[in-house]
Structure 1
Amino acid sequence: MSDTHSTELEAAAFRQLLAHLQKHAEVQNIELMILADFCRNCLAKWYAAAAAERGIAVDYEQAREIVYGMPYAEWKEKYQLEATPEQLAAYQARQKLKDDK
């Protein structure tokens, strides 16, 4: 497979991932962090870092708007719930496992 085709397929898969996450706003970032060790904010950080590496002006807030499909403050107000004690405990346990490696 050519590099161009690979890049096109990766971009298409990334766009589909963003669409999926935007469609499923009920999935909380802390749940993603517990299960997959990344969340929407991680994707935005990676996006902004990739832009910076290429000399493209996209800051973190702009990247979050791309990932969330709206300004982060709006998404947070509409969809973000307070983390439960169980979620916080699971997240902390996950972080401890990472730190112990």
Structure 2
Amino acid sequence: MTELTQAQQDALDAAAFRRLLAHLDDNKDVQNIDLMILAGFCRNCLSKWYLAAAEYQGVTMDMDAARERIYGMSYAEWKDKYQPKATADQLAAFEARGK
């Protein structure tokens, strides 16, 4: 494997993260609860991680700004347009995952 410089690794990490955000944006039908059931994280988790990274870097940011970066719009707008109420099956699968 090629030894990467820190700058190269950071650039690749950033590119992969941008691709993940684009993929999630292209697949708005995939609900956060489904992501949590299958992968153990969701868009809200990414928002929290993004905010934590900003704080670690000394960047002033709030959760609304972090969510807007991850969702590509305000969280309220995204929920209104793309997030239906969780089904009984989704809730049961989510609860079962936690055990």
Partner of 1:13: 16
**Is 1:95 aligned to residue 98 of structure 2?**
yes
Amino acid at match of 1:59: D
What TM-score, normalized to structure 1?
0.93
The separation in 1 between residues aligned to 2:5 and 2:16, in whole angstroms, is 17
Structure 1 unmatched runs, 5+: 97-101
Which of residues 64, 83, 88 in structure 2 aligns to 1:61? 64
Equivalent residues, number = 96
TM-score (norm 2): 0.95
Question: What amino acid maps onto 1:24 in structure 2?
Answer: N
User: Is there any run of 5+ residues in structure 2 with no aligned partner, and where?
Assistant: none
User: Is 1:76–2:49 an aligned residue pair?
Assistant: no
Of 20, 25, 31, the match for 2:34: 31
How far apart are 1:58 and its partner, in Å? 1.6
Kindly state the Cα deviation for residue 63 of structure 1 after the two structures are TM-superposed: 0.5
Provide the alpha-carbon RMSD of the alignment. Answer: 0.5
Q: Distance in 1 between matches of 2:49 and 2:81?
A: 24
Structure 1 segments, 4+ long, off by >2 Å, are none
Greater helix content = 1
